[in-house]
Amino acid sequence: MLVLGIETTCDETAAAVVERHDDGRAAILANVVLSQIAEHAAFGGVVPEIAARAHVEALDLIIATAMADAGRDFGVLDGVAAAAGPGLIGGVIVGLTTAKAIAIVHEKPLIAVNHLEAHALTARLTDGTPFPYCLFLASGGHTQIVAVRGIGDYVRLGTTRDDAIGEAFDKTAKLLGLGYPGGPRVEQEAASGDRGRFILPRPMIGRHDADFSLSGLKTALRLEAEKIAPLTNQDVADLCASFQLAVVEMIVDRLCQGLRIFRQRFGAPSALVAAGGVAANRAIRDALQEVALQDQVALVVPPPSLCTDNAAMIAWAGAERLAHGLRDTLHAAPRARWPLDQVTKPVVAESAPSVVTAPVTTDVASAAPSEVASPNSAHSGTASSVVA
């Protein structure tokens, strides 16, 4: 099954061609990502209107490049998948409309993919991870612990009560004058800092739920910075290191709770899986390793370039949905809000996809949205390959 994927929900214009074999194995034939960091850097974050216009200008070339890299024509595709949300609506419209045009012209099925579902299924693209698994999704707009039980079958076990983790990294960078994108800059500074110099709070630690909260930490960091202003380079490095350590310790505690709740409700997970741009952070990856060891569960962390936004994950999610008989009509709506638990499910169990004889047509426009994608989240493409 050969699927073209298109990603335009934030500040990466991306297209990829992915092949899914009948036994579930995957091959990425092309994966092209154009980061818009340069367009947004002067504004200290993603400007939605600039992002949408940049997607319009770049997308045709990015798709053509992906098809050329894969050495395939549109005619041999089995489907065209686009991220239909959640995300910045102008960009989502550009990607989904382009996918619809390709689907109409070449008479291919359209798959309107939920961007979060694509992050959630990436571990199956990279490692063939079997269901059910415990997902830690941490990006610029989302921080969630999710039980991934099958295609379209997601149960949220924990979430953030205020800022997303990536957003907290981005705001910390902005406060300390490190620029955009924030996450990689804070990590870089933290490497030469003293992480014990500032005692910052570890919100939520010790609670029985699996929720996160970042706003108190962010405020505490600002107060510490104000106390010692003007900041030297070493002050900035020490603040970054202390902030990163607080985040890491919170993640370890919250994931232990998440895994406990997972086992209570669904039995043993096949793995702890990380996804989203924040998982590109080395200290956080090491912390996940510590949790996995403590909990005696396998750890799957896709390579950084597949943790940050990309189209290979969109193509893969499209292929997985198509393989389970799921496709969408040309009425599929672009959505700024689209919680993971409102994604449509196949009508048959994952263990018996072969009994599907007729494709099930889903129309995501009919589902009611209830979660807001953060328009301020500065998504970054640190590990992306850039096409001029």
- Of 327, 322, 382, 339, the C-alpha closest to 137 is 339
- Residue 239 binds what, of Zn ion, ligand KG4, none (CB under 5 to 8 Å, by partner type)? none
Instruction: Give 368's Cβ-side CA count (13 Å radius).
Output: 1
Residue 276 and residue 219: Cα distance in Å, rounded? Answer: 24
List 273's β-bridge partners, or say none: 135, 300
Q: Considering CB distances under 5 to 8 angstroms, the limit depending on partner class, which of ligand KG4, Zn ion, none binds residue 243?
A: none
Residue 159 touching Zn ion (CB under 5 A): no
Q: Give CA 260 to chain center in angstroms.
A: 23
CB of 285 to ligand KG4, least distance (A): 9
**Shortest distance, position 37 Cβ to Zn ion, whole Å:** 15
- List, in sequence order, every beta strand (DSSP E) within 178-270: none
Does residue 309 bind Zn ion (CB under 5 A)?
Answer: yes
Which residues are CB-contacts of 53 (< 8 A; sequence separation ≥ 6)? Answer: none
Contact region for Zn ion (CB under 5 A) — 18-26, 32-40, 87-95, 309-317? 309-317
Sole window of 51-59, 133-141, 326-334, 355-363 interacting with Zn ion (rule: CB under 5 A):
133-141
Which residue in the block uniquely carries the two structure tokens 């990607």? Answer: 95
Residue 31 near which of ligand KG4, Zn ion, none (CB within 5-8 Å, type-dependent): none
Q: C-beta of 181: minimal distance to ligand KG4 in Å?
A: 5
Q: How far is the CB of 104 from ligand KG4 (least distance, A)?
A: 28
278: buried, middle or exposed (CB in 10 Å: 19+, 13-18, 0-12)? Answer: buried
Residue 144 binds Zn ion, judged by CB under 5 A: no
Nearer to ligand KG4, 165 or 323 (CB): 165
User: Which residues, at least 6 apart from 331, have a Cβ–Cβ distance to it below 8 Å?
Assistant: 363, 365
Which of Zn ion, ligand KG4, none does residue 129 bind (CB under 5 to 8 Å by kind)? none
Nearer to ligand KG4, 178 or 261 (CB): 178
The residue (of 317 and 322) whose beta carbon lies closer to ligand KG4 is: 317
- Shortest separation between residue 313's beta carbon and Zn ion, angstroms: 8
Among 139, 374, 377, 380, binds Zn ion (CB under 5 A): 139
The nearer residue to Zn ion, 146 or 245, going by C-beta atoms, is 146
DSSP string computed for 238-252: HHHHHHHHHHHHHHH
d(C-alpha 83, C-alpha 367), whole Å: 16
Give residues in contact with ligand KG4 (CB under 6 A).
Answer: 10, 139-141, 166-167, 169-170, 181-184, 187, 276-278, 280-281, 308-309, 377-380, 382
CA–CA distance, 350 with 372 (Å, rounded to integer):
30
Query: Element (H or E) spanning 159, and its range?
Result: strand 153-159
Q: Which is nearer to ligand KG4, 30 or 186 (CB)?
A: 186
Residues in contact with Zn ion by CB under 5 A are 139, 309
